[in-house]
Structure 1
């Protein structure tokens, strides 16, 4: 198995808002490119090996099979965004509204900066049952962080949504949807996009501004 890389580690950053260009080992980079272009089932191990100029046995020396490549990318990506969200939440201290705002910002920034990795979430259907369960557990943790911030803010009277669980899920789905259309060469920077989505998210949960 390949060594962990900074871009796929929960602690692979110094500032949760800052992003360096995505750098992956050649095999993982080729697998990500192939999965993005052709889908998991449309990609063969031979195709991945061909993209980087190695033999299939060489690829198998590092990764057991194609499923192992998908797991490494998906689990690594989810750990990376979770790590950033955990750090972001700590910056908000005990204020649930600030925690909600900062979590939305964090997720949108990740989707904008790590689009190809984040888009791979659509291949969850290709994970084997045990691997899918591990991945869903991490994704549920991310949703729980957002859900708790919404419920805490509702309890304080800062959010007025009568459906905190549904609202949190809707906000997370909205943020994750950024990968379907955002392009780095477009008119919006990731920071501007994140600010807009924070505003949209606050409307979704019925944010009550204090006079």
Structure 2
């Protein structure tokens, strides 16, 4: 049986980029995410994470060599997830820059809202060592490149009115990355409603007039 038309599944990687299931984390990473979210990276100790998991500190170090190791593991999982979904959403847009941009922004916002706790960890990047920061930025750059190539395609086709595609891309990503700072699942807006609003803002940003 084929997939319903309204459920876009990317054949190459086999995911529905609009559907976000619960993230499967190891008990250690799940406890780390909770602690970082509640206490901040600076306020979290390895002992606190071990206490939440119910293991000894040496047992935790067997799996992750440091608190920073816990953070980079979560960040890499988080950014790889949004990159996969953004690529799938872009491909689902075919050759239409408007649909591609709408899809990519929707995919990013759905991830930022449905996985706000995980996405919020990007605010802790400042605590990474130079080496780990570069590892994180390499994947983060991939997300930027997805949006940039869509904006460039729309500018080249005349669908978008954009003077500086690179700066426009940074503006679009900046507004999406701010979502975890204010979004709460118990609020009045659903992830889908937030995504629709941000798609509309993105379209105005690239000069597409509402019909």
Q: TM-score, normalised by structure 1?
A: 0.89
Q: Does 1:147 align with 2:160?
A: no
Runs of 5+ unmatched residues, structure 1: 1-10
Q: Does 1:164 align with 2:165?
A: yes
Runs of 5+ unmatched residues, structure 2: 1-11
Q: Does 1:75 align with 2:83?
A: no
Other-structure match for 1:33: 34
CA apart distance, 1:14: 2.6
Question: CA contact under 8 A between 1:12 and 1:80: conserved in structure 2?
Answer: no
Deviation per CA, 1:39-92: give whole Å up to 9, x if none: 222211111101121111111111111111111100110001111111111101
CA distance in 2, matches of 1:48, 1:82: 28
Other-structure match for 1:94: 95
Question: CA contact under 8 A between 1:112 and 1:190: conserved in structure 2?
Answer: yes
Q: What is the 5 A alignment of 1:59-208?
A: 59-208=60-209
Q: Alignment length, in residue pairs?
A: 200
CA apart distance, 1:21: 2.6
Other-structure match for 1:3: none
Other-structure match for 1:7: none
Superposition CA RMSD, Å: 1.7
CA distance in 1, matches of 2:14, 2:24: 13
CA distance in 1, matches of 2:53, 2:181: 27
Question: CA contact under 8 A between 1:84 and 1:106: conserved in structure 2?
Answer: yes
CA distance in 1, matches of 2:169, 2:131: 27
CA apart distance, 1:161: 2.2
Deviation per CA, 1:11-59: give whole Å up to 9, x if none: 9973111122333211101111111122222211111101121111111
CA distance in 2, matches of 1:151, 1:22: 33
Give the 4+ runs in structure 1 shifted more than 2 A: 11-14
Other-structure match for 1:4: none
3-state SS of 2:194 partner: helix
3-state SS of 2:15 partner: coil
CA distance in 2, matches of 1:122, 1:183: 16
